[in-house]
Structure 1
Amino acid sequence: MRRAGVVLAAVLAAVVVNLAAYALGRLAGGDFTFTREGEAMTVDAVTVAGFSAVPLGLGLTVVALLVGRVPRIATVASVVAAALAVATIGLMTLPVDLDAVSTVALAACHLTLVPISLLAIRRLNAAAASEAHSRPAASAGTGRPAW
């Protein structure tokens, strides 16, 4: 699979899995409402989809552009992706006054990004290696992305 396809597949998987976690949280009685500056705010399905797709898509796009050109980018990206997924639970989910079910469901959404990110980064690394081996020597180093 080409690198753009890997990014797209990972983003779609994250959105689908996280919307399922959100739906299960709703079915379990979570209201996904919290207070910010005295005003009630609700986390809805669009927010879950966006918070799943945008950061993952941006991060994987950076990796897709750099993998094969920057040594160890896949290793660094794997550590950063996992750390950010876990850290954002403490930065975004736990500090607000959500009910317990909503907190667990949203924390699960963050955690689902770990395996999805790691698998996608591994696939991007493999795709770059495959492209490097199949590219004729004359076109190597043209500076054009292979995706």
Structure 2
Amino acid sequence: MNTIASLARRLGRPGVVAATVLFAVVVNLIIYAVGRGAGATYVFTAGGQSTHVEPLTLVGFTAVPLAVGLTAAVLLSRWWHWVIPVALVVAPVLALLSIPAMTLPSDLDTTGKIALALCHVTLAPISVAGLLAIRSLTQPAAPPLTAAP
């Protein structure tokens, strides 16, 4: 936890949001690529037409909700201290609930469903890590450890 707090202090709140979003995007693009290598086509039907989940679409669906949520948490936590603890529960729950809401009902091939579901799963711990880093910025720094005499 001390590593997260130290990094967060160097980055500041906007930097934590940006770093968290960037990390999530990179992880999800890696999952997407592994899924592609495993045979996922990422093709599904929407509005009666065949549609393809492109990497840029994945970036948008990863970055936008995460950036909006973390930014809202940063801004609102300045007035209401309960926002971060609530967000620590809500963010991973929303990430995981989006699997049965979006991924499972689609007609993606099985490999594509698994890969995209994993992209949603990764957002749970990544969002928690980002929120913990943000929370560490509102807490005083821990005193350095000293050796006992």
Segments of structure 1 that go 5 or more residues without pairing to the other structure are 132-147
**Is residue 35 from structure 1 mapped to residue 27 from structure 2 by the alignment?**
no
The correspondence for 2:27, drawn from 17, 27, 34, is 17
Name the aligned partner's letter for residue 44 of structure 1.
E
Q: CA deviation at 1:69?
A: 2.4
The correspondence for 1:97, drawn from 88, 95, 107, is 107
Instruction: Give the distance between the partners of 2:18 and 2:134, measured in 1 at CA.
Output: 12
Percent identity (aligned): 46
Q: Per the alignment, in what secondary structure is the counterpart of residue 98 of structure 1?
A: coil
Q: Is the 8 A contact 1:34 1:97 kept in 2?
A: yes
Instruction: Give the distance between the partners of 2:134 and 2:140, measured in 1 at CA.
Output: 10
Q: Is the 8 A contact 1:67 1:128 kept in 2?
A: no
Q: How does 1:65-104 map to 2 (within 5 A)?
A: 65-104=75-114
Q: CA deviation at 1:74?
A: 1.0
Instruction: Give the distance between the partners of 2:139 and 2:78, measured in 1 at CA.
Output: 7
Q: CA deviation at 1:127?
A: 0.9
Q: Structure 1 segments of 4 or more deviating over 3 A?
A: none
Q: Per the alignment, in what secondary structure is the counterpart of residue 139 of structure 2?
A: helix
- Post-superposition CA distance 1:74-127 (Å, at most 9, x none): 110011101100110111101110000000000000010011100110110111
The correspondence for 1:60, drawn from 51, 56, 70, is 70
Alpha-carbon RMSD? 1.2
Segments of structure 2 that go 5 or more residues without pairing to the other structure are 1-8, 142-149
Provide the aligned length of Structure 1 versus Structure 2.
Answer: 131
Instruction: Give the distance between the partners of 1:129 and 1:77, measured in 2 at CA.
Output: 17
Name the structure 2 match of 1:127.
137
Q: Is the 8 A contact 1:15 1:52 kept in 2?
A: yes
The alignment's TM-score, normalised by the length of structure 2, stands at: 0.84
Q: CA deviation at 1:72?
A: 1.7
Name the aligned partner's letter for residue 131 of structure 2.
I
The alignment's TM-score, normalised by the length of structure 1, stands at: 0.86
- Post-superposition CA distance 1:51-84 (Å, at most 9, x none): 0000000000011112242122111001110110
